Amino acid sequence: MRPRLFLSRLYGLTLTRSSLRPSYVHHCTTDSGSLGCSTAWSCRGLCTERFGELGVARQAETGSAAPENLSNVTLGAAAATPVNGYGHILGNAHLPPIQNESYQQYAPGSKERAALKAELEALKAQFPVRIPCVVNGKEYFGDVEAVNQVMPHDHRRVIAQYRPLDEQVVHKAIQGALEARERWSRTPADERAAIFLKAAELVSQRHRYRLNAATMFGQAKNVWQAEIDAAVETIDFWRFGVKYMRDIYNMQPPEHFPRGVWNRLEWRPLEGFVAAISPFNFTAIGANLPSSPAIMGNVALWKPSPNTELSSWFVYDVLREAGLPDGVIQFLPGDGSCFGRVCFQHTALAGVHFTGSTRTFHTIWQQIACKFAAVSKLPSSCG
C-alpha cells in the first residue's frame, strides 16, 4: 500500500467507479429487539444490519434464504440505510445554511469582553491543566514525569502538563483507530456531518471564550487574533468541511450509457489511518487536520504541537461533547519522534495530514520513504 501525504486542509479519499443496472427488488424487514437492528432479505440476497443510535450499517452479499417464520416480518418495508455516500432510503436531507461565523468585537463595556475576562480568570485558576492521551475514549496520564507547556510570554508560568508518548500507547492508538474504522467508515455521511456541525455550534455558543482564552495564554495571541483563529476559523473549518463533503459526493458522471446503465462514483474512505500533525501557531489548523479526514469517514491519530497542547485539548473535548465516537480521532500529545517512529513505519498508514516547518516535513518524508520505497512525491503545507 502506498501512503499519501495530503495538502493541508484537503481531504483523503479513494475513488471507485461502478456501473449498476437497475433492478426491482422487494424487501422484507424484521426488527431485532432493543439493539435497533434490522435485517432485510431480497431476491438478490442483500443482508443489511443497523446498529444503535448512529444507524451504522453493515452490508454483505449473502446466499442465505429468508427465515421460515415470517410472522414478525413487515412486508414492503425499505432496506436499512445505505453504507456509502450521503443518501438515505427515506430521503436526501438538505444541509442547514452554511455561512461564515461572525466576529465578536470585544469593545470596552461589551458583554463578550466581560465574558472573556471572566474565562481568562477562571482558566488561570486551573493552571496547570493536566492533559492526557486519549485512546479509544480512555484517558492515560501515565506515571512518568510530566512535560510542561509554558506561556510563550512568561516562561515561569506553567499552564498545562502532559505525559510523554511511548511506543506502546501509539501502537494501541493505531489498533483502536483501525477497529473504529470498521464502523465509522460505514456511518452515513449525514450522521457524520451532524457531529461536526454540532461541534461548530458548541464553539459558537458555549465554548468560544474558553477556546479563545486558552489560545491567548498558550500561543500569546491578543483577543482579536484569538477570536479569528481559535473561534471563527475552527467553526468555519467544521461547517465548510461538511459542505465540501457534500460537494465531493455530488461529483458524479454526467452521462449514463449504454441505455439501462447507471454510472456512479463511489467515494470510499482510505484503507488505514491518517496521521495528523498540527503546528504551533494556529488552534484552528489543529482542529482541522484530524477532522477533515474524519468528516470523510476516515480515522486519525492527532499529534498536536507541544506549544498548543492546552488549546488542542479543549478542541478535542468539544468533539467528544459533540458525540464523536471513541477511536475515530485518537488524541496523542507528546513527543513527535516517538509518534513518527511508530506511525511512519506502520503498514496501515494511509495518509499524513501535516502543516509545519519544511525541516519537519523533510524528516517525515525520509522516514516514510525508508519504509515505502515507491513514494516519490509527498505534497504538504510548509512554512
The pLDDT tens digits for 111-151 are 999 999 999 999 999 999 999 999 999 999 877 889 999 99
- Prediction pTM value: 0.78
Predicted pLDDT at 370: 85
pLDDT at residue 15, rounded to an integer:
35
> What is the set of domains in the chain, with CATH numbers?
111-382 (3.40.605.10)
Given pLDDT bands bounded at 50, 70 and 90, which one contains residue 31?
A: very low
If one counts every other C-beta atom within 10 angstroms of the C-beta of residue 35, the result is 11
How many other C-beta atoms lie within 10 A of the C-beta of residue 77?
15
- Check: CB of residue 309 under 8 Å from CB of residue 214: no
The residue that leads in pLDDT, 70 or 340, is 340
What is the model's pLDDT at position 172? 98
Among 257, 357, 262, which Cα is nearest to 305's? 357
- Give the pLDDT score at 382: 79
pLDDT band at 81 (very low <50, low <70, confident <90, very high): very low
CA 78 from chain centre, in angstroms, equals 30
Q: Which residues pair with 382 in a beta bridge?
A: 356
pLDDT of residue 375: 54
Predicted pLDDT of residue 42: 27
Cβ neighbours for 12, distance < 8 A, ≥ 6 positions apart: 4, 6, 269, 270, 274, 293, 296, 298, 350, 351, 353
Whole-Å CA distances, 223 to 7, 211, 310:
29, 11, 17
> Is the dihedral angle over the CA atoms 80, 175, 288, 4 positive or is it negative?
negative
Percent of the chain residues topping a pLDDT of 70:
74
For residue range 201-223, what is the model confidence (pLDDT) as tens digits?
A: 999 999 999 999 999 999 999 99
> Can you tell me whether residue 81 is helix, strand or coil?
coil
For residues 49 and 201, give the distance between their C-alpha atoms in angstroms, rounded to a whole number: 31
Note the pLDDT of residue 46: 29
